Amino acid sequence: MVASRIDGVCVRGIVGCVPEGRETVEDLARRFGEDAARRIAAATGIEERRIAAPGQCTSDLVEAAARRLLDGLGWEPGSIDLLVLVTQTHDHTLPGTASLLHRRLGLRKGAAVLDLTHGCSGFVYGLWTAAGLLKAAGRRALLLVGDTTSRLVDPDDRTVAPLFGDGAAATALELDGSAAPMAFDLGSDGAGAPYLSAEGGAMRHPDRPARLFMDGTQVFAFTLREVPGSLRAALDTAGWTMETVDHLVLHQANAQMIRHLGQKLGMAADRTLVALQDVGNTSSASIPLAIAGALAVPLMAGTRRLLLSGFGVGWSWGSAALAVGPLAMCETVVLTGRKYPAESAAPASPAA
């Protein structure tokens, strides 16, 4: 495992973005039957998922979140020194989606951009990467995460179709000498690669569409095996105890899994965030979407100690302990348009 501390970098704001389209338990019941759909919802905690429109790409969701964040903070695009994008569902094979966003957001020529192809651990990996690079050179960074995983899902596959939704988020980072250190623990185990994959549609299988495959038993076993130790390592690196953490924010994959991990770690149920009911598993965006959806009020009012962990495809996992707030901006917007969506992104309703 890789443990590290990065000081002097502060989170200034977080904006999530979800598409307007929804698929509900009632929709699933028409395909899988009422009893099966209800059992799946009860087991996962997911009542509906957000689904991108046919004309929407990952970049559209990410752009809407980033524009809203920059406008809310009053940051000029030219003041951004670094853009890190985390996604597994790029707009094109090449160029990288970060380059497309550099142009669409109007960042200055010479700003550094970087694409990371990570999934459920991606927000923590992206935070570690962006904060570390910002310390090396620059003053302001955008960490953008997002996936349109629904495009990889066979709608008739009941092991994945009821779980995965689409979403994105933008996080603003800035150098600040008074900021408390961020503590990280990161790890990977490539032996887990076959158990969560989408192998079609690439060079090896150009003749078939990419379809998501997941062995849920293996995913659950991996999570219980690696994540608790990673979270404890992040706590130790930060010099914290579980009792001093205000909120445990895990990758929002499954409500039962989240609660089980919280109990295993000794975290109180009311401090373990479960916020996937209306969006589903949104891969790299699940942690910031959960924060923006459930913790906006306390984080804009003051500082909270957050313990984060993302885990999944790869196998890959990353945990972080950091103090966040008071934030200048923390909200979720809904993308209603199909192209250059900053013009059609509106604040989300409370249900979003």
% of residues, the chain, pLDDT over 70: 93
Rounded CA separation 352/350 (Å): 5
Average pLDDT, the chain: 93
Residue 99 has pLDDT above 60, yes or no: yes
DSSP state of 16: E
Report the side by side order of strands in the sheet with 82-86: 112-116, 82-86, 140-148, 166-175, 9-19, 329-335, 345-347
pLDDT at 33: 93
Residue 264 has pLDDT above 70, yes or no: yes
Q: Based on the residue annotation, tell me whether 247 is a catalytic residue of this protein.
A: no
Three-class secondary structure assignment of 66-79: HHHHHHHHCCCHHH
Domain regions of the chain by residue span: 2-338
pLDDT in tens, 287-329: 999 999 999 999 999 999 999 999 999 999 999 999 999 999 9
Helix (H, G, I), strand (E, B) or coil at 215: coil
pLDDT at 1: 65
Cα 171 to Cα 13, 215, 258, 335, 338: the distances in Å are: 6, 31, 23, 17, 23
Which residue among 102, 254, 281, 330 is the active-site one?
A: 281
Phi and psi at 138, nearest 5°, equal: 120, 180
Whether the Cβ atoms of residue 201 and residue 209 lie closer than 8 Å to each other = yes
Rounded CA separation 314/280 (Å): 20
How is residue 17 written in tokens? 């973005």
Rounded CA separation 278/255 (Å): 12
Q: Based on the residue annotation, tell me whether 120 is a catalytic residue of this protein.
A: yes
Residue 258 is inside which H or E element, if any? helix 255-265
349 vs 183 pLDDT, higher one: 183
Q: Based on the residue annotation, tell me whether 17 is a catalytic residue of this protein.
A: no
Whether the Cβ atoms of residue 293 and residue 352 lie closer than 8 Å to each other = yes
pLDDT at 137: 87
Is the pTM higher than 0.75? The answer reads yes
Whether the Cβ atoms of residue 320 and residue 128 lie closer than 8 Å to each other = yes
DSSP state of 348: P
Q: What is the mean pLDDT of residues 21-35?
A: 94
Gyration radius of the chain over CA positions: 19
Average the pLDDT over each of 146-150, 152-156, 227-231 and give the range with the smallest value.
Answer: 152-156
pLDDT at 207: 66
Which residue among 90, 118, 247, 251 is the active-site one?
A: 251
pLDDT at 209: 77
pLDDT in tens, 190-245: 999 999 998 776 666 666 677 888 998 999 999 999 999 999 999 999 999 999 99
Rounded CA separation 38/32 (Å): 10
Q: What is the mean pLDDT of residues 95-99?
A: 94
pLDDT at 343: 44
Whether the Cβ atoms of residue 289 and residue 16 lie closer than 8 Å to each other = yes
Those residues whose C-beta lies under 8 Å from the C-beta of residue 95, and which sit 6 or more positions away, are none
Residue 338 has pLDDT above 70, yes or no: no
Q: Comparing C-alpha atoms, which of 168, 163, 142, 143 is closest to residue 57?
A: 168
Residue 345 has pLDDT above 80, yes or no: no
Residue 71 has pLDDT above 80, yes or no: yes
Which residue among 10, 17, 57, 120 is the active-site one?
A: 120
pLDDT confidence tier of residue 126, bands split at 50, 70 and 90 = very high
Rounded CA separation 148/165 (Å): 7
Q: Comparing C-alpha atoms, which of 211, 97, 190, 110 is closest to residue 145?
A: 97
CATH of domain 2-338: 3.40.47.10
Residue 349 has pLDDT above 70, yes or no: no
Helix (H, G, I), strand (E, B) or coil at 282: coil
